[in-house]
Amino acid sequence: MVKVGKSKITELKKLVKDTPLKHLSPRKFAKIADAVNEEEFQKGTYIIRQGEIGKTFYIVKEGEVNVTQIKNGSALREEVLIRTLKKGSFFGEKALQRDGDKRTANIIALSEKVVCLTLDKKYFVHLIGDAAYTLWKVGRPSFSERLDIPVNQSHRFSFSSVTPFSTNSSPMEVRKSRRKTFEPLSIKDLHSIKVLGQGSFGRVELVRIYQDKKTTYALKSLRKAHIVENDEQEHVYSEKNILLKCHCPFIVELYRTFKNSKYVYMLMEACLGGELWTRLREEKQFSDSRSKFYTACVVEALDYIHQRNIAHRDIKPENLLLDSNGYVKLVDFGYAKTIELGERTWTFCGTPQYIAPEVVWNQGHDTAADLWALGILTFELLTGVPPFNSNSESKIYIKASKGIGAVEFPNYVKSPAKDIIRRLCRDKPSHRLGNMKNGINDIREHKWFTGFDWTGLQTRQLRAEYVPEVKDSHDTQHFDDFEFTRDDSAQSEHSGWDKDF
């Protein structure tokens, strides 16, 4: 332990007269002073959110914060002001006493700048301990008791082990029933409005059903001959079968498929906010809070597919589309594969800057490869470039083999963001955040996401920082212009591989 200066100890003692730190021995107090960090919060920032797992103890050093609570049974998530805390006040201690305890109230920065001294749970528990906490607590109520919040009546949420979307505005059963309405549909019933993208594989068009002029969809057309020439049949079927199983608001919806002699088609949900990659290139980089929001959307998508033993294997900004509300949806499941628990696969696939080491070195991989890619994605969102980058693929792999520890982070990337990236990009898959005992919840509970409204995200009540302008269902301003030409040169293909489309 580094020796702590007397000035820091003296400053801390002035703030802890009415906190559980006041009873510590001089030796333990010195250790606490060394472990204390200082964090700043802007006005309106949620320092703590009701329902999240407790990880940190706070003492207000400068400014004021509001304590609020969400009313039980409130569909609008109405918050009630409980009290205001000033300099020297503390919060967050109760949820640290037992593993899994959740915050019973929100703490919101009231002043233009709020400075808090923070102490991680491991130091709070090991240095303060139950005895000291009990001694301090005698004769005074706990934090939640001071707020008159009975534990058995507090508003709490939990992440389902199966799916966290039970309260979503478009639940799984609604999505399933909606797909049934497309069963009688023929490819001839679709009217093309504009080409959204095209390449050697085919193209993606914005279409509508002739009888419905208001609702639009994305129609992905794939050349059958090109698929056979490149031996991509398995990947195309994998995308079709996996997407038809997915009912997740953070994954693009596939409604049904078609085929003819030249093409196989996928009728999908239209996300008119454009590619996240395009947005990133225009803005160079995203703020910490905005990067956090986009990363959280991908976390929800990965949680959904990983619980079903599905690895996406091509996480990158190009495969993330923005909807009209500014939420991100994961697309392009061409490399996705079901990998049963305890098994591995050896296919080499993905985008060089995002490929995990175990894939590069042919060691066998599973869903943990997506967690490495999530760390790379987070870095790119924050900085505008991936951490391992070069014009040469081999040089990219050499850089990646040196590990994320060899990467120099820009000064503006905050410490919690650096930490989550490093934990996601551990060389050993079993050591990666999200691939251990608590699974994806370890990512949700990481310090970078302190105060983040996961319930608001999952129920889509959390407003995105950036909401793309989308005038109506025909607005394609966020996509490049492509000349619309009817492609009669595509070869017919009759091998029958597409019999199940």
Answer yes or no: are the C-beta atoms of 342 and 429 closer than 8 Å.
no
Q: Considering the domain 276-458 in this protein, what is its CATH number?
A: 1.10.510.10
Give the whole-angstrom CA distance, residue 186 versus residue 181: 12
The runs of H, that is alpha helices, within 330-478 are: 357-360, 368-383, 393-401, 415-424, 441-444, 454-458
pLDDT for 130? 41
Helix (H) or strand (E) holding 4: none
In this prediction, residues 276-300 reach a mean pLDDT of 97
Does residue 212 carry a pLDDT above 60? Answer: yes
Predicted confidence (pLDDT) per residue in 219-240, tens digit: 999 999 999 998 999 999 999 9
Q: Which of 303, 314, 370, 453 is catalytic?
A: 314
In this prediction, residues 97-113 reach a mean pLDDT of 80
205: which 2 tokens? 């068009």
User: Which of these, 101, 69, 62, lies nearest to 83 by C-alpha position?
Assistant: 69
In this prediction, residues 450-475 reach a mean pLDDT of 95
184: which 2 tokens? 């009688």
Lowest mean pLDDT among 7-16, 131-140, 249-258: 131-140
The more confidently predicted of residues 81 and 199 is 81
| CB within 8 Å of 14: residues ≥ 6 apart | none
Phi, psi of 298 (to 5 degrees): -70, -35
Predicted confidence (pLDDT) per residue in 345-365, tens digit: 999 999 999 999 999 999 999
386: which 2 tokens? 């991936």
pLDDT for 261? 93
| CB within 8 Å of 89: residues ≥ 6 apart | 18, 59, 60, 65
Average confidence score pLDDT of the chain: 83
Does residue 268 carry a pLDDT above 70? Answer: yes
Lowest mean pLDDT among 49-63, 83-97, 451-465: 83-97
In this prediction, residues 156-174 reach a mean pLDDT of 37
In this prediction, residues 141-145 reach a mean pLDDT of 31
DSSP state of 362: T
Q: Domain extents for the chain?
A: 6-153, 276-458
| CB within 8 Å of 83: residues ≥ 6 apart | 66, 67, 147
Give the whole-angstrom CA distance, residue 425 versus residue 409: 14
User: Which of these, 405, 483, 474, lies nearest to 216 by C-alpha position?
Assistant: 474
Give the whole-angstrom CA distance, residue 224 versus residue 500: 13
CATH superfamily of 6-153: Jelly Rolls (2.60.120.10)
In this prediction, residues 359-380 reach a mean pLDDT of 97
Give the whole-angstrom CA distance, residue 78 versus residue 91: 22
Lowest mean pLDDT among 22-26, 133-137, 380-384, 437-441: 133-137
Give the per-residue SS3 of 97-125.
CCCCCECCCEEEECCCEEEEEEEEHHHHH
DSSP state of 299: H
Does residue 10 carry a pLDDT above 70? Answer: yes
Does residue 160 carry a pLDDT above 50? Answer: no
R_g of the chain computed on alpha carbons: 26
Tokens 């005074």 label which residue? 140
SS3 at position 310:
strand
Decide the pairing of beta strands 310-311 and 337-338.
antiparallel
Per-residue pLDDT band at 76 (split at 50, 70, 90): low
- Write out the E strands in 127-239: 190-199, 202-209, 216-223
pLDDT for 145? 29
Tokens 């919040």 label which residue? 149
Give the whole-angstrom CA distance, residue 30 versus residue 73: 45
Does residue 206 carry a pLDDT above 60? Answer: yes
pLDDT for 92? 83
Predicted confidence (pLDDT) per residue in 409-422, tens digit: 999 999 999 999 99
Per-residue pLDDT band at 93 (split at 50, 70, 90): confident
| Burial tier of 181 (Cβ tally within 10 Å: 0-12, 13-18, 19+) | exposed
Does residue 96 carry a pLDDT above 90? Answer: no
DSSP 130-148: HHHHHHHHTTS--HHHHTT
Answer yes or no: are the C-beta atoms of 194 and 207 closer than 8 Å.
no
Give the whole-angstrom CA distance, residue 419 versus residue 417: 5
Q: How far from each other are the two terminal CA atoms of the chain, in whole angstroms?
A: 64
In this prediction, residues 372-378 reach a mean pLDDT of 98
Does residue 94 carry a pLDDT above 60? Answer: yes
Lowest mean pLDDT among 96-100, 164-168, 295-299: 164-168
314 is catalytic: yes
Give the whole-angstrom CA distance, residue 72 versus residue 385: 44
pTM for the whole structure: 0.70
Tokens 């008159």 label which residue? 148
Does residue 140 carry a pLDDT above 50? Answer: no
Answer yes or no: are the C-beta atoms of 316 and 372 closer than 8 Å.
no
Does residue 265 carry a pLDDT above 70? Answer: yes
278: which 2 tokens? 């395009």
DSSP state of 318: G
The more confidently predicted of residues 363 and 104 is 363
The more confidently predicted of residues 110 and 76 is 110
Give the whole-angstrom CA distance, residue 475 versus residue 464: 20
In this prediction, residues 100-110 reach a mean pLDDT of 83
Give the whole-angstrom CA distance, residue 163 versus residue 305: 10
Q: Which residues pair with 345 in a beta bridge?
A: 365
User: Which of these, 463, 461, 470, 467, lies nearest to 216 by C-alpha position?
Assistant: 470
